[in-house]
Amino acid sequence: MEEIDVLVVGAGPAGSGAALAAAQLGARTLMVDRKKEIGTPVQCGEVIGRSLINQAGIKLPRQAVCSIQKSTRFIIDRSIMVENSEPYWESVTVERKILDKHLATRAAQAGARVEADTRLTEIRMDGDNVCEATLVSRGKELKVKPKMVVAADGVHSTMAKLMDVRWYPEEMVASGGEFEMVAKRPLPRAMQIFLEPEVGLGYGWIIPKGRDRANVGMATVGASGNRRHRVEDWIQDHPVISRYFDCKAILEVKTGDAPVPGVCGETVKGNVIFAGDAAGQTLAFVGEGIIPSYICGQAAGAAAASGSPDSYAASLEEVMGEELGYGAALKDEILRLWSDDSMTDSQKVLVSGLVMSECLGQEDMAALESVEGMSGSDVLGMLRLKLKSENRGIRVSPLRP
């Protein structure tokens, strides 16, 4: 039986952030990950909001950066394009395989012990506290006695299952699939988000990894069937995406699930602190999970090292409260729109797209009723007048065939 101060389960961004913070505070820290190679398989679009990088206090390794986007384009119902070039919508595409190893390396250099190919199999409880954890590390059983645990093991958290806790409902998980593809023509220097009835409650994307390749995929809440086939059919039939890609040049197939709650609150039970996707700490419906997970993980690691899980909620509010709150409010508004049976799917997509792209804010919700009954040209005219009067970095136009 090995006694440790902090056991971190999962070596993604949340886990590495937690292990770094705990080790820096002098805690005996063990971080484990069930994957044989940290950072694989890739299960996301690999994009980071530029505004969050400085907030996280990290410098991205040069070899991890694939592309920098100055704007985000929203293609709404295959008819309207909104290009938002305000700072919040600038982004960086990374190689997760490189970034995740970089973050885990920083944790190890700070003094954390890092073990890949090591999975959690059992826990023994003393009331609400985990007093013993059984691990299988590269075929050998290892038992540890942690004072504190950080559960950073993803949307389908093993720790949550073993403790029988749930921080968000299963129906609030989006299933995603994407292909890393070679482009037939140079790609725009912008991330592109597609909102349309063909995708449903969620969105599709083209995330550049340079001018000649990109991650192309979609994530949907409540989708059924084979997600790879769904993405392939969508790419081939789409009037915009098929101009850039066909399914004869696929470099990698990636699938994964992501929570959409945007939780900001205390996700603690006993001596276990949940962080990252395991706690639903994503910028819901904005698509950003990498850096928020890392920042929240650091807060979890600091609380664990100090033995004060009660301080976690206040730390979260300080470091990510505004961003998580914004994402949750955006998600709630989109869910409200999609539950409105009086609207057609095209109307739901139109209004959701205008909210998500920030053409319409919460203060503009009174205008939604008029938008729902407008033609496409009327909507464009109204938006142009509104955005011009506000002097914002958002441009709207009809989608060119």
Q: Which residues pair with 65 in a beta bridge?
A: 94
Q: What pLDDT score does 387 carry?
A: 61
Q: What is the pLDDT of residues 272-314, one digit of tens each?
A: 999 999 999 988 666 688 999 999 999 999 999 999 999 999 9
Compute the distance between CA of residue 315 and CA of residue 366 in angstroms, rounded to an integer. 35
Q: What pLDDT score does 359 carry?
A: 81
> In the 3-class helix/strand/coil scheme, how is 189-257 assigned residue by residue?
CCEEEEECCCCCCEEEEEEECCCCEEEEEEEEECCCCCHHHHHHHHHHHCCCHHHHCCCCCEEEEEEEE
Which tokens hold the place of 248? 């004869």
Q: How far apart are the first and last CA of the chain?
A: 66
pTM of the model: 0.92
Residue type, 229: H
Residue 288 contacts by C-beta under 8 Å, 6 or more apart in sequence?
47, 48, 49, 52, 282, 327
Compute the distance between CA of residue 15 and CA of residue 106 in angstroms, rounded to an integer. 12
The domains located in the chain, with CATH, are: 2-45+97-169+260-329 (3.50.50.60)
Q: What pLDDT score does 376 carry?
A: 56
Profile the chain (401 residues) by mean pLDDT over runs of 10 residues: 96 98 98 96 92 88 96 93 92 96 98 98 97 96 97 96 92 92 96 94 95 96 88 95 95 92 82 96 80 96 96 92 85 85 84 84 57 59 62 82 61
Q: Which residues pair with 7 in a beta bridge?
A: 30, 149
